[in-house]
Structure 1
Amino acid sequence: MPHVVTENCTGCRFTDCVTVCPVSCFHGDDDRVYIDPVACIDCGACVPLCPVAAISEDLNLTDDRLEWIEINADKASALPVVREKQAPFPGAEARRASVAGRA
């Protein structure tokens, strides 16, 4: 099953994940990235590179996060592919620190 970018990416947009994707399945807008479920080969290479734990396998999503499957599919099909690392948004480092503090 494909991986899904969840709400933790919103406002951060760390893009370390896109640099290891062998099939360029990440697409982005002005706020975050999404994974194209058709292109994703479920390799999982992106998961450990996300510093805010925003990427999950779709089978591992809790019921309250299932909406992200459809959001990723809808958004990815309409947005450009992101293949290169981009600068994270202001405030993203604070979110990274917050997530690291919960680990």
Structure 2
Amino acid sequence: MTFVVTENCIKCKFTDCVEVCPVDCFYEGENMLVIHPDECIDCGVCVPECPADAIFSDAEPQATAHWLEVNRKYADLWPNLTGKKPPLPNADAENGRQGKANELSPLPASEDVA
């Protein structure tokens, strides 16, 4: 089993979940995080830490085959994230907004420019 990041993470990208992950299995895209399903140890510590309630066990109906494939695909393409970062600027407004699936960016996270 594994945990899967789903649609509500898009345009939020809270990283509270990343901070508690004991195996560093989160990967960062431009506007979403994903979990590498082959690295996740199914501990579940990330679930209660997600302010967007966007992480589900692959045994739950919210973690559809589509979202499992999104996590698998982009975890192989995006950089690994091992610590907490600020969420996206409008994360609070985006949290809970329906219909964000088509807004997923395939681009990896870019380095913050100071």
Please classify the TM superposition score into its range, dividing by the shorter chain length. Answer: 0.7 to 0.9
Contact preservation (8 Å) 2:11, 2:94: no
RMSD value, Cα: 1.6
After TM superposition, where is structure 1 displaced by more than 2 Å over at least 4 residues in a row? none
- The percentage of counterpart residues that share the same residue type is 45
SS at match of 1:18: helix
CA distance in 2, matches of 1:77, 1:61: 24
TM-score by length of 2: 0.79
CA distance in 1, matches of 2:41, 2:84: 20
Greater per-residue helix proportion = 1
Specify every segment of 5 or more residues in structure 2 that has no aligned partner in the other structure, as ranges: 98-114
Specify every segment of 5 or more residues in structure 1 that has no aligned partner in the other structure, as ranges: none
Q: Please state how far the C-alpha of 1:31 moved relative to its aligned partner.
A: 0.7
Count how many residue pairs are aligned between Structure 1 and Structure 2: 97
1:7 aligns with 2:3: no
CA distance in 2, matches of 1:62, 1:41: 19
Q: Which residue of 2 aligns with 1:58?
A: 58
- 1:12-51 aligned at under 5 Å gives the runs 12-51=12-51
TM-score by length of 1: 0.87
